[in-house]
């Protein structure tokens, strides 16, 4: 057996301790990196399928926001529930769904989670605690608060977590869902993913607040804003919020500051976003940043991260082929399961 390449000696002990002070092992860091790289590879595969005319619907990407989704979901237990939105493909992978299931869903195939009824991102899997979203922004806040109410009523130590964009945080459901979760001290965590834009509307046209987490004060709950492109920061803030919820102390409102590195969806070239802003955030790419941390802390060598990236790329190509080979639903059955089938 080939001998393992020697690891770089940690240049800075404080840098190495950063993940250890959060209770994360080196193996946890490798898993986080793998999830980040897999999320991007999957989003890129979806974009490529869209451009090749393979998708019946649109293609959304979480490029630039992977650390927020993966890091926050990493703080949950397997029996907790999440309500993912369009920038949370990393969360559904972290919760345990296979990328091939997501690809099949975008392709509208019969063996996808929506059995070909969706052809987009509206997929869930209750076995993995993933609540399927609808397109109506904000609705997952009261839905997840409702799941949290069920956990509390049954005396189960489970947590519900969902995300909301900076734009959708202006919707009435935000207030109604978060307020009732606060008043009833529900085991609920809400993360605002402030990526600077709601389609072509900048955040400054949505709110005068600089720190969106300050809204927490209005609900009498804790809040914090942090760098959503630094996965260790995401974990450092989400973990106490999840623990607080699980301990029966109620919800927390978090704001992850991040950036949408593509347009709203694949059809949008984002020409309205200033070039300098894109460059500013490109230098803060969450995956490249974590890779540098892994090298500096001695968790993985550059050769090891390169090999991991190559393995993930090869796996994604295989899963894309597998998804493309999946059957379309039988046209005669497409209405089955769309509406509740009760008595007339
Ligand atoms: C209630 C509602 N209003 C409008 C839309 C149309 N819409 C879909 S995504 C979007 C922008 C969302 O921006 P943001 O909440 O910041 O999330 P991001 O796309 O930046 O992740 C809009 C206006 C919708 N789906 N639902
Ligand atoms: Mg936004």
Measured between its terminal Cα atoms, the distance across the chain in Å is: 67
Element (H, E) at 274: none
Q: Which of 65, 164, 198, 206 to mutate to test the pocket of ligand 1 (most atoms within 8 A of CB)?
A: 198
Read off the pLDDT band of 2 (50, 70, 90): very low
Q: 83 lies in which domain range?
A: 27-281+304-326
Q: List, for residues 80-120, the tens digit of each pLDDT value.
A: 999 999 999 999 999 999 999 999 999 999 999 999 989 89
Under 8 Å between Cβ of 25 and 303: no
307 pLDDT more than 50: yes
Q: Name the closest ligand to CA 168.
A: 1
Q: Name the closest ligand to CA 262.
A: 1
Give the pLDDT score at 337.
Answer: 80
The answer to whether position 110 is within a domain reads yes
15 pLDDT more than 80: no
The answer to whether position 292 is within a domain reads no
Residue 73 CA, ligand 1 centroid: distance in Å: 22
The tokens describing 24, both together, are 């994360």
The answer to whether position 178 is within a domain reads yes
Q: List, for residues 58-82, the tens digit of each pLDDT value.
A: 999 999 999 999 999 999 999 999 9
The answer to whether position 295 is within a domain reads no
Q: Ligand 1 pocket by C-beta < 6 Å: which residues?
A: 86-87, 135-137, 165-168, 171, 193, 195, 197-199, 260, 264
Distance, CA of 98 to chain centre: 14
The tokens describing 156, both together, are 């189960």
Residue 171 CA, ligand 1 centroid: distance in Å: 10
The answer to whether position 11 is within a domain reads no
The answer to whether position 259 is within a domain reads yes
Residue 54 CA, ligand 1 centroid: distance in Å: 24
The answer to whether position 18 is within a domain reads no
The answer to whether position 111 is within a domain reads yes
Q: Which residues contact 108 (CB under 8 A, 6 or more apart)?
A: 55, 56, 57, 116, 118, 119, 328, 329
Distance, CA of 320 to chain centre: 21
Q: Name the closest ligand to CA 85.
A: 1
Q: How many domains does the chain have?
A: 1
Q: What percent of the chain has pLDDT over 70?
A: 95
3 pLDDT more than 70: no
Q: What number is the average pLDDT over the span 199-223?
A: 97
Residue with the two structure tokens 């005068």: 208
- The DSSP letter of residue 343 is -
Residue 131 CA, ligand 1 centroid: distance in Å: 18
The CA dihedral of 138, 142, 145, 147, to the nearest 10 degrees, is -110
CATH number at residue 132: 3.40.50.970
Phi-psi region of 196 (alpha: psi -120 to 50; beta: other; left: phi over 0): left
């Amino acid at each position: 057996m080939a001998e393992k390449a020697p690891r770089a000696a940690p240049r800075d002990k404080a840098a190495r301790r950063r993940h250890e002070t959060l209770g994360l092992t080196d193996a946890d860091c490798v898993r986080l990196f793998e999830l980040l790289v897999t999320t991007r590879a999957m989003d890129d595969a979806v974009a490529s399928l869209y451009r090749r005319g393979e998708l019946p619907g649109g293609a959304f990407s979480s490029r630039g926001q992977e650390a927020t989704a993966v890091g926050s979901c990493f703080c949950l237990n397997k029996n907790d529930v999440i309500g993912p939105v369009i920038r949370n493909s990393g969360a559904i992978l972290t919760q345990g769904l296979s990328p091939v299931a997501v690809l099949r869903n975008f392709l509208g195939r019969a063996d996808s989670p929506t059995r070909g009824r969706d052809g987009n991102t509206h997929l869930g899997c209750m076995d993995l605690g993933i609540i399927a979203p609808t397109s109506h922004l904000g609705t997952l806040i009261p839905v997840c608060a409702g799941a949290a109410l069920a956990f509390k009523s049954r005396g189960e130590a489970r947590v519900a977590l969902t995300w909301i964009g900076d734009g959708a945080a202006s919707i009435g459901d935000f207030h109604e869902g978060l307020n009732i979760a606060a008043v009833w001290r529900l085991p609920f965590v809400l993360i605002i993913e402030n990526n600077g834009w709601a389609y072509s509307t900048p955040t400054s046209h949505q709110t005068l607040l600089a720190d969106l987490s300050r809204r927490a004060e209005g609900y009498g709950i804790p809040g914090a804003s942090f760098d959503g492109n630094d996965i260790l920061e995401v974990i450092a803030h989400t973990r106490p919020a999840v623990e607080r919820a699980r301990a029966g102390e109620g919800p927390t409102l978090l704001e992850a500051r991040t950036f949408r590195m593509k347009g709203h969806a694949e059809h949008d070239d984002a020409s309205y976003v200033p070039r300098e802003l894109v460059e500013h955030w490109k230098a803060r790419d969450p995956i490249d940043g974590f890779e540098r941390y892994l090298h500096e802390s001695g968790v993985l060598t550059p050769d090891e991260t390169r090999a991991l990236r190559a393995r993930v790329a090869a796996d994604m190509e295989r899963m894309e082929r597998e998804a493309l080979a999946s059957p379309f639903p039988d046209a005669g059955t497409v209405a089955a399961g769309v509406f509740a089938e009760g008595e007339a």
